[in-house]
Chain A
């Protein structure tokens, strides 16, 4: 678990599951393990991000629908949705995550601006996000940023803390870390046992 100012942050299963706790409430993004979550948000509907069978949640595909630009006030959390899509990761000539398919979330709570990027490339809308304290960056290539591209996002957004997610191969973490660390403090958050 990472504790920074007024928030606690931990991995919540899946490719990019994250739980953020502040002022006694827990907001979860892409959580496969939803126990203890007061607010559930999903970035898109792919396996590994959305477990299905969830009753009340916010997302661009079901539950309470969220689209880029929307702002949610959820207890102590202020959440803004940001575009998340591919421009260079394609299957059969089509982006794996086309524009409009998913989102990322900027969460403000406890004096911290935390940006969960969703599954995305380093696109213009990502570059427009400002004043990020903690960046949760998808790393791995294939359907999200390569380690080098994710490090480019760190260079551009200059968060205080960069937390890589989504990788399944440790070499991707290492590559990201080695390129990104001069620009932000990298913290590897491991899934709870």
Chain B
């Protein structure tokens, strides 16, 4: 951990030239922050939503079982899309979608509304009503985005599942969520070749005990088999009249399965509290209606749900979605998108910056990114050197602003790294361009945002500064899950939520995350439960027992390793895990041993992580085994 800390920690504080006159002093920040740590602060933000019946009470209950604005009624759809009707935003672009083949499709807010209204009739015709889950296993094409909004309009909670997860993972989610409908596409292009995602759906539903209907959105026109009575093509369903739902504040809006030590758990966010927090943080991070905002994180991850599907539409920005990967047709495709669509705000992951910084610099120099005013990053810890690369090489531009010096790559616009977690619902830390903008600490995720009572504490729960501790939240936040697994509830101890991440908090409250404190893996910023890999591995012939854990990876931050006892073919095992869990979870290495200690898996994972990350030797009988695994990994 000391090595990582050296890479991410910085005493430097930077005020970008473009934000020279926006920065506030630490004392101003401290005062605003201190005064924000009350339910009344969030009540003020909730007043920005459109309520059909205004709530009388901001918060009730004790964590984790709290309810925000409990007696309020609202239409989530009206708060996301409908709020713009009758304003100038209604006829401006809401969505700019670029397909991998290069086609650009543009939809105004009124276009999106018309699609969502029509599609809510389609969902209704397929039996979806208020409270029925709709799972999406599809890339966010415009039709898929409109279908998600259509479900929101019906009061039907959604779960977008990343298509990089395999059929086994999808089946587990379907059995847990029990959706009325699963939405997919026939196929989508990846580096020019069709990925037949419908085939993965068929395999998943062959495995799952729960059998939802399937709605197929045509994306590539490839031939897919339809199961009679189960599968329906989008164009074949005749819409029924469908009313816009008005729901209670705690009504489930969406959910995501996240990885815990013990497995996948469904975390569900309620409409009123979540949308309050989303609308507030989206404005605070700097989005405005005239912004053209390109987010490379797609729905399927909390960042992609909150800051693609909900927040930017609530604000009225134009959202740019690119269907393809960052390397196709070339490693400059993201720069090209920003240049071609005059992107003003760019949101990506620290992992993506790592990869992009290693490409030919000429690919970046060939593109003019002068319209950018803000670079936002998230997911995993950010090394200082990659922050500097983004600040100087991506963000300086060619035209001076205030006192920036393009020829010296002085930096010009903020690069703001922020901490997010599915359970938190939104970004919760970061210097805020539209609110509390404090000098940026490179490598940090910034200080806590107003309203979030965040601290870093030691083993006894005492605040620590300047050295690693546990990241905690000490009071409820509006997007607190309304449904959750026991693993989340167990993270609440004494009224304090332990996020499961190590971090260092500096004296000026800048937070430097250091990765997970449990054995959940953070691969390219995505939480992967070791249990999923172990389950896939143990289903393979010859494998008696498997333990998965993460090792440091300079590219992905962390990468999975699987230790197995038994007679196995590593390549075959890797293939099984890739197909069953997903490509994102493919192990970097399989360590095959003849035997494994007879200790519980959490103990084995923790011992391996402690040794490999912190050099802490295991006690007793595990010691030799841990050292042997470490030796095999070298």
CB <8 Å contact, A185 and B93: yes
Q: A3-B105, A4-B105 are in contact. Are A185 and B92 (CB under 8 A)?
A: yes
CB <8 Å contact, A5 and B111: yes
Per-residue contact bits, chain A 54-66, to B (CB 8 Å; 1 contact, 0 not): 0000000000000
Q: A160-B92, A177-B342, A182-B290 are in contact. Are A3 and B103 (CB under 8 A)?
A: yes
CB <8 Å contact, A185 and B399: no
> A187 vs B320: C-alpha distance in the bound complex, in angstroms?
11
**Complex interface: chain B residues within 8 A of A190 (CB):** 340
**Complex interface: chain B residues within 8 A of A189 (CB):** 104
> A4 vs B108: C-alpha distance in the bound complex, in angstroms?
9
B585 to chain A, nearest CB (A): 35
**Complex interface: chain A residues within 8 A of B111 (CB):** 5
CB <8 Å contact, A185 and B105: no
CB <8 Å contact, A181 and B371: yes
> A178 vs B368: C-alpha distance in the bound complex, in angstroms?
10
CB <8 Å contact, B92 and A187: no
A181 to chain B, nearest CB (A): 4
Which chain B residue lies CB-closest to A188? Answer: B340
In the complex, the number of residue pairs spanning A and B with C-beta atoms less than 8 Å apart equals 56
Which chain A residue lies CB-closest to B341? Answer: A187
Cβ of A2 within 8 Å of any chain B Cβ, yes or no, is yes
CB <8 Å contact, B103 and A185: no
> A186 vs B102: C-alpha distance in the bound complex, in angstroms?
16
Cβ of A91 within 8 Å of any chain B Cβ, yes or no, is no
Cβ of B421 within 8 Å of any chain A Cβ, yes or no, is no
> A185 vs B340: C-alpha distance in the bound complex, in angstroms?
10
> A165 vs B368: C-alpha distance in the bound complex, in angstroms?
17
CB neighbors of B among A135-193 (8 A): 160-161, 170, 174, 177-178, 180-182, 185-190
> A180 vs B371: C-alpha distance in the bound complex, in angstroms?
11
CB <8 Å contact, B371 and A178: yes
> A87 vs B292: C-alpha distance in the bound complex, in angstroms?
34
Extra 17 A-B pairs, beta carbons < 8 Å, given A3-B104, A188-B339, A190-B340: A1-B102, A1-B103, A2-B105, A4-B106, A5-B111, A160-B92, A160-B106, A161-B106, A170-B368, A174-B370, A185-B92, A185-B96, A185-B342, A187-B96, A187-B104, A187-B340, A189-B104
In the complex, which of the residues B91, B106, B341, B342 contacts A3, with contact meaning CB atoms closer than 8 Å?
B106
Which chain A residue lies CB-closest to B344? Answer: A181
**Complex interface: chain B residues within 8 A of A161 (CB):** 93, 106
> A181 vs B92: C-alpha distance in the bound complex, in angstroms?
12
Which chain B residue lies CB-closest to A181? Answer: B342
Q: What are 7 A-B pairs at a CB distance below 8 A?
A: A2-B103, A160-B106, A160-B108, A177-B342, A181-B371, A182-B290, A185-B96
Cβ of B318 within 8 Å of any chain A Cβ, yes or no, is yes
> A4 vs B105: C-alpha distance in the bound complex, in angstroms?
6
> A182 vs B102: C-alpha distance in the bound complex, in angstroms?
24
Per-residue contact bits, chain B 530-561, to A (CB 8 Å; 1 contact, 0 not): 00000000000000000000000000000000
**Complex interface: chain B residues within 8 A of A181 (CB):** 292, 342, 344, 371
In the complex, which of the residues A1, A2, A186 contacts B342, with contact meaning CB atoms closer than 8 Å?
A186
Which chain A residue lies CB-closest to B93? Answer: A185
**Complex interface: chain A residues within 8 A of B290 (CB):** 182
**Complex interface: chain B residues within 8 A of A3 (CB):** 103-106
**Complex interface: chain B residues within 8 A of A188 (CB):** 339-341
Q: A161-B93, A185-B292, A187-B96 are in contact. Are A2 and B371 (CB under 8 A)?
A: no
> A181 vs B292: C-alpha distance in the bound complex, in angstroms?
9
**Complex interface: chain A residues within 8 A of B399 (CB):** 178
> A60 vs B409: C-alpha distance in the bound complex, in angstroms?
51
> A143 vs B367: C-alpha distance in the bound complex, in angstroms?
26
> A2 vs B107: C-alpha distance in the bound complex, in angstroms?
11
> A190 vs B340: C-alpha distance in the bound complex, in angstroms?
9
**Complex interface: chain A residues within 8 A of B93 (CB):** 160-161, 185
> A181 vs B318: C-alpha distance in the bound complex, in angstroms?
12
